[in-house]
Amino acid sequence: MVTKVNLGDIAAEVALKAIKNIHLSVFYPPDGKVRISAPLGTNIDTVRIFAISKLGWIKKQQQKLRAQERETPREYLNRESRYVSGKRYLLQILETDSSPKVELTHTEIRLQVRPDSSDEKKQVILNQWCRNQLKKAALPIIAKWTPLLGVQLQGFNVRKMKTRWGSCTPLSNAILLNLELATKPIECLGIHHLPRNAPPDRTHPQQQVCHPHESGNAKMAILPRQTE
């Protein structure tokens, strides 16, 4: 069940789910859409009171999103700026009758494509490379934290997402990461959805996972977001 509550000039989307606690998030730049997830059976007035108590935090997060620098639309031109793991690189297009590939140097992303390749084809090749880079970066972090959290991860994938950095499916113990995380610093990969898969336990080291993600959030807030 999804409904909305008005918080003055802010409309918050409320979803009632089979969860134990209320979760509040602000996402989807540039305006900062507000979403609240609450346990099934929660009175809507209870949700509204909770949201009102967090209005200061909500507006602060929205201000951060509005101030966030936006990258220009992609044209796949030589010396176009690209970000990988939080670092800026210059795109270099190499046209040759060889298999497409991507190479990373100290200052450049070298995209090798066949002559007359369309921008859509270049995007597919570069996205696949970014997807592989993100998986390589995330796997060691997942391997580190899943045993500490008592989680047996059954699935892990990467795809483009418009409104969130990642999601989890507790019933299948699977997580999904936003492809754009490949452009962010490694500290952003706190795998913050893993604790939701773990059984409730106040002695569990869940907070240890949240710290690197929180520091990563600060870095993500100041880095440009893609517009393609």
Distance CA 162, CA 146 (A): 26
Q: Which residues of the chain have pLDDT under 50?
A: 195-223, 227-228
Residue boundaries of the structural domains of the chain: 2-67, 81-222
Helices (H), the chain: 44-53, 55-67, 119-149, 194-197, 206-222
Q: What is the pLDDT of residue 192?
A: 54
The residues, any chain, with a CB within 8 Å of residue 111's CB and separated by 6 or more, are: 76, 91, 92, 93, 94, 100, 102, 122, 125, 126
Residue at 100: amino acid letter: P
pLDDT the model gives residue 126? 96
> Global pTM?
0.62
The per-residue pLDDT for 200 is 46
Cβ contact 168:196 at 8 Å? yes
Give the residue from 180, 78, 75 showing the smallest Cα distance to 120.
75
CA distance 109 to 92: 6
Question: Distances from the Cα of 89 to the Cαs of 69, 77, 133, 193, 226, in angstroms?
Answer: 17, 13, 15, 29, 14
Q: What is the pLDDT of residue 149?
A: 74
Among residues 103, 106, 110, the alpha carbon closest in space to that of 79 is found at: 110
